[in-house]
Structures are given as C-alpha cells and as structure tokens.
A and B are shown apart, each in its own frame.
Chain A
C-alpha cells in the first residue's frame, strides 16, 4: 500500500459527496488518474459559458510530491486562455512545483486555486513563446522549473 492510498481514498470520499461550486468530479476509477471539470462562475468574458477539463495524475510520492495537473482538450473542453497556461494544457503555477507544493494541499484546493487563477485573469492570451514551448517541451510538467507567485492573474 503506497503512501497516498489512504489519503486519496479519503479525498475521493469527500469530493464525491461535495465540491465547491463550479467544480465537478468526472472520473476517478482508480487512485492514479482523476478527471475534474471546472467552470469560472463570475462573468469573466474570457471564460463565460465554457467548461474546462483538468487531469490529475498522482505519483507514488503523493501527497509528499505534487500531483501532475494539466488541462486536457477534447470536444466542448477547450484549453482556457491564460498567460500562464500553454496551449498544450500545461499550467505554470507555483503550487504545482516542488518548491511551492505543500503536502497539506489536496485535489480540491488545487482546483480552487486554478479556478481563482482563471477568475482573476483579464488577459486573453497565451504565455510568450507558447508555440516554441509546446513544440519543443518533452519534460513532465512538474520537472519544468517555472514558478508563479502572483495572485493577480
């Protein structure tokens, strides 16, 4: 039994029952990969009426190590436009990197952080160098060293 089994079990039990508004659990068949949908609830014109899909992947070290969290694209589930979100779905957010992560964070708190990161955003564009990054990056999201601390976006 790996470290995170019990923890993930409890997390799943909790989020199956209730989640904050705008966040819904889509799929959690095992303790390796979960899918959640998020919506931006206020009237931010960039995200109005859209639903986005997040994919969580938990490593053996979760929750000591952060989970891998990316947006995945499919029909009716685009990648949200944001200066910290690449068009391949990789999210540049400090709490998803090893230095910003705390084992006390959980799936729900990560979803809420991402939701608020979208809510507060006013810039309808991708990160600079998005095309280059998307075509050249082969590293796993958590091995990429970017860190963001600003809460303004």
Chain B
C-alpha cells in the first residue's frame, strides 16, 4: 500500500528531525564547552571533524536477528513472565501470544483479573485436569462418524470432542496447507477457542510440531511492533528498527492479493473484514455489496492511520478542487468561443439560409454555457463543505446531470458550421437555459 510507505517515510522524517535536534543540542553544548575553555583558533579543524561525525539524516539505527535470536528473545520473555507471574513456561507463552507479546499489558491485565485473562487465552488452569486423550464409551466423532470402541478422542475446555485422528488431520491441514499457528480455532462451527501448544503437542507428530513452532516464530515477528522480516527473498532474519511502528489497530498490515470476484475481503491473519474497493469496514456496507462507488467518509479513514487520513482529506480536497479548476478553465475557453460567436452566426446565416433572428440561438447557447460553467464551478466548492447525507446524493445527481448536459452543449459548439444548423444544439441550449434559470440546484 502506498499509504504505508508514505506513513513510514513521514515517520522516519519525524524521527530524523528529533535525531537532528538532539544532535544539534549536543553539538552546541559541546561548542559552548569548548569555547569556554579556550579560544584557540586551531579549534576550527576539530569542529569540522565533529561535524562530519553527525549522522546523515537517513541513517537510522537497526538490528538484525537470526532465527536463533528470535527464539532466544521469546524464551527470555517467557522466562520473565514465568518468574513474575509464577506460571509454567507453556502458559506464559500462550499468554504472551494472546497479548501479542505485549509483556507490560499482559502483566497489568493479569494482576487485574487473572481468571479472566487465563480464560480468554484458553489456558487450562487446574493442574488436576491437563488436556489429555480420552476413551469414552458410546462416543461418535462428528467429523468422521467413527464410533469404534476404544476410539481415542480429545476435547479442549470448550468440550467439543473429536477423535484424535480427525483432530490430527484438522491440525495438519491448518498448519501445512493454511500456514496457521497461533490462532487455530476449535474445529466446531462457531467455536473460537484457540488450540494451545500443549494440546497440539499431544496430538501431532514431532515433525508437525516443528513446523508449528516455526510458524509461531513467525507470528512473533509479525506481532511485535518493532520487528519486520528482512525483505530479501529466502532470508530468515528479522530486522528491528525503531521507526517500524504498527499503529494500524484493526488491520494487520499484511499484504493481500485479490484473486476472486467479490469485493468482500477477509484477512487470514487478523480476520478483519473489509471492502476491496474502499478498504473500509465490510460491516458498514450493509446491503450494498458489490456496489462501492461512494467516496467513503468514515470507515475508510478509520481503517487507515493518521498519515493516510490527512492524505485522504487532501485527496478529497483535490477531488473537488480539480473539478472546480477544470470548469473554470473550460469557462475561459468557452468565453473565447463567445467572442467568436458573432462571426459564427454570420457564417451560419449564409451557410444555412437562416435569418439573423433564427441564428440568435447560438448567442443564447453561448451565454447558457457561460452561466452553467460558472454554476458548476461553484457546486464543487459547495460540495466540498457539504456533510454526507441523502440530500448530498440528490445534489450530486443533479450536478452530474448538469455536467453531462453542459459537456454536450460545449461539444456541439465546437462542431463546424455546417453541422451547427442541426436543431439539437438549439434545443439543448434552450433546455439548459431554462433549467438553469429557476434555480434548480
């Protein structure tokens, strides 16, 4: 998305300014210090040297982490939470993932209401009841319809029980084919309980566990605000950089490619539903699917970040200004035309054999054109300040109609004399003149 780039570059330039400021402060302090000590003119070269040391504006600090480092960071965080909150490392991992590795928020929320946090993250608290495979009498798996005796089954705390085989297939599908890890839900329809690492280890092969771990690592980098994958293909390293801040709250900032017909998009990672056309919230589209031609005011801007917001307002301004300016320009050209109208009228008179009175419509057409251009020009200024409601839509429809008619008339005006005798021009001009006068708009 362009806006992202803009966003980043604006952010980085902000950072630069801050960096420069602090640098300058240091420098000036240093200078004062120097000045206070000695006024040796030999200072000059030193100063020059110091100036060269100033970091260039685009030079921003960053760190590179190998897959091992990423793993280590996660371990460190888990250990820390494990120590502070006195829980197992697995549970700490689940909680950290649940809070998208925002350790501070996790600890705060946990202190506040530990039961709620534990419940929301899907951790089984009672030690007496860890997740385990069970064999129940009379159990039939709703997925494969198997009801053999001794069939091993598994259920998370939500109680949706399926046979181990189906669970395994389900997890394999999610991990291998769909590349999901941190947010795999219970197979039951509409159940949003997330499968935790411990349950997963119980169910799948070590090979799949490895893949799961790899995907979890990935979500760590994607969840962390300051981390981003190295953009080089096949590079496994992550880059940490202070300027990479995700402030897109609901939208997760992954790139999405549209490959189907519908405009209703759902992000696989964050489940955010949006419209492909306007990038706004899908829920706000109500029943007007497929039909996104509105210049949206709310959802689109909400979905974008602050920088993009100003961009949108600029775009909106330009949208109206360009049309305003365009009509102004056209009015000027039409005015030139007006000065030539009289000559044209004479030509038309001799070419078509019409009387002077009869060719007067050219004059009135030209005047109508002028008035219409003037009106149209200002409708855009007017529309810019209009609040969005039903009346605005009616206004825009009228505006569109007038615009269409005016362009038609303007086009006819440019035709050679021989075609001007056509009565259509006369009609259009008269209609327009009539339409304009009773203040229709």
Q: Evaluate contact between B169 and A139: CB separation under 8 angstroms.
A: no
Q: B313 contacts the other chain (Cβ, under 8 Å)? A: no
Q: B229 contacts the other chain (Cβ, under 8 Å)? A: no
Q: How far is the CA of A99 from the CA of B142 in the complex (A)?
A: 19
Q: Evaluate contact between A64 and B189: CB separation under 8 angstroms.
A: no
Chain A interface category by residue count: 35 or more
List chain B residues, Cβ under 8 A from A98: 177-178
List chain A residues, Cβ under 8 A from B166: 3, 64, 103
Q: How far is the CA of A9 from the CA of B268 in the complex (A)?
A: 33
User: Number of contacts between A and B (CB, 8 Å)?
Assistant: 94
Q: Evaluate contact between B261 and A103: CB separation under 8 angstroms.
A: no
Q: Evaluate contact between A139 and B261: CB separation under 8 angstroms.
A: no
Q: Evaluate contact between A7 and B266: CB separation under 8 angstroms.
A: no
CB nearest to A86 among chain B residues: B261
Return B151 CB to nearest CB of chain A, in Å. Answer: 12
Q: B265 contacts the other chain (Cβ, under 8 Å)? A: yes
Interface 9-residue window, one of B70-78, B284-292, B314-322, B358-366: B284-292
CB nearest to A105 among chain B residues: B189
Q: Evaluate contact between B290 and A127: CB separation under 8 angstroms.
A: yes
Number of interface residues of B (CB under 8 A): 34
List chain A residues, Cβ under 8 A from B49: none
Return B275 CB to nearest CB of chain A, in Å. Answer: 12
Q: Evaluate contact between B143 and A64: CB separation under 8 angstroms.
A: yes
Q: Evaluate contact between B173 and A102: CB separation under 8 angstroms.
A: no
Given the interface pairs A129-B290, A147-B273, A149-B273, the reply to whether A103 lies near B143 with Cβ below 8 Å is yes
Q: B325 contacts the other chain (Cβ, under 8 Å)? A: no
Q: Evaluate contact between B261 and A127: CB separation under 8 angstroms.
A: yes
Return B125 CB to nearest CB of chain A, in Å. Answer: 27
Q: How far is the CA of A146 from the CA of B290 in the complex (A)?
A: 12
Q: How far is the CA of A59 from the CA of B263 in the complex (A)?
A: 27
Q: Evaluate contact between A144 and B259: CB separation under 8 angstroms.
A: yes
B268 interface neighbour in A11, A86, A99, Cβ under 8 Å: A99
CB-defined interface of A108-151 with B at 8 Å, one 1/0 digit per residue?
00000000000000000001111011000101000111111110
Q: Evaluate contact between A146 and B144: CB separation under 8 angstroms.
A: no
Given the interface pairs A61-B169, A64-B169, A83-B289, the reply to whether A145 lies near B258 with Cβ below 8 Å is yes
List chain B residues, Cβ under 8 A from A86: 261
List chain B residues, Cβ under 8 A from A129: 261, 290
Q: How far is the CA of A93 from the CA of B160 in the complex (A)?
A: 25
CB nearest to A9 among chain B residues: B145
CB-defined interface of B289-316 with A at 8 Å, one 1/0 digit per residue?
1110000000000000000000000000
Return B170 CB to nearest CB of chain A, in Å. Answer: 5
CB nearest to A133 among chain B residues: B261
- Residue of B143, B165, B188, B189 most packed against chain A (CB within 10 A): B143
Q: A78 contacts the other chain (Cβ, under 8 Å)? A: no
- Residue of A102, A147, A150 most packed against chain B (CB within 10 A): A102
Q: Evaluate contact between B143 and A7: CB separation under 8 angstroms.
A: yes
List chain A residues, Cβ under 8 A from B263: 128
CB nearest to B285 among chain A residues: A150
Q: B61 contacts the other chain (Cβ, under 8 Å)? A: no
